[in-house]
Amino acid sequence: MTKEIYIIRHGETELNKLRIIQGSGIDSSLNEKGRSQARAFYDFYKAEDFQFVYTSALKRTVQSVQDFLLEGIPYRSLSDINEISWGIHEGQSPNPVLTNSYLEVVKKWDAEDYDAALPQAESPRELSDRLRRFVDELLANPAEKLLVCSHGRAIRCLMTILHDEPLKMMEQYDHSNTGLFKVLYKNGRFASLTLNNTDHLHTEELRSMVW
């Protein structure tokens, strides 16, 4: 069995622009720039003949691939690929206290404490458990070319799972709004063909911060 899997982060939201923390508890919509990014991705990749689309259960991912869904491509929205829950940080603008607590928990993850979490938030272990369920779903799907739209931290975690890496390697996977991670599954193994590719974003105006 061979599969080509195109994994993208959703387009920009107004909260992205304002650097407000979203997570799984914030169901925001794309802003004008995010809609333009989504359209640019569609125009660039519409000839790829995707056979199935997965989105998270949050509307910013559905909106990011809406043009593909309008073609009638079968799809499922799954909460298993929602963004991580950032707990009490969600809806907050960065400030020194929040930033320091975030850096402290990332330091714990780097030390392989995968049960560490921000207050009322999800841990990497909890996130990886649901993403592993998604990988099982992905492999059970008979489609050979699939499009997946998810979220920044979820994609970081997913890439470590696909590459059989420790979760502490999440930080190496930079992500941009509508950045593409193209993965090939062949002979029982996943291999990345491209990481965070933004060739479809032709202008600096469409490119977004890593956030």
Structural domains of the chain in order of their starting residue, each with its CATH number: 3-197 (3.40.50.1240)
Q: How far is CA 154 from CA 1, 23, 86, 126, 170, in A?
A: 25, 10, 12, 11, 9
Residues serving a catalytic function are 10, 83
Note the pLDDT of residue 162: 98
Residue with tokens 């207050």: 119
Q: How far is CA 90 from CA 65, 126, 194, in A?
A: 24, 17, 30
Note the pLDDT of residue 202: 82
For 24-59, b/e burial (b = at least 16 CB within 10 A) is: bbbebebbebbbbbbbbbbebbeeeebbbbbbbebb
Note the pLDDT of residue 211: 46
What average pLDDT values come out for the chain (211 residues) when binned by 10 residues? Answer: 96 95 96 96 97 98 98 98 97 91 96 97 98 98 98 98 98 96 97 96 70 46
Note the pLDDT of residue 208: 58
Note the pLDDT of residue 94: 83
Note the pLDDT of residue 165: 98
What is the average pLDDT value for the chain, to the nearest integer? 95
Percentage of the chain with pLDDT > 90?
A: 93
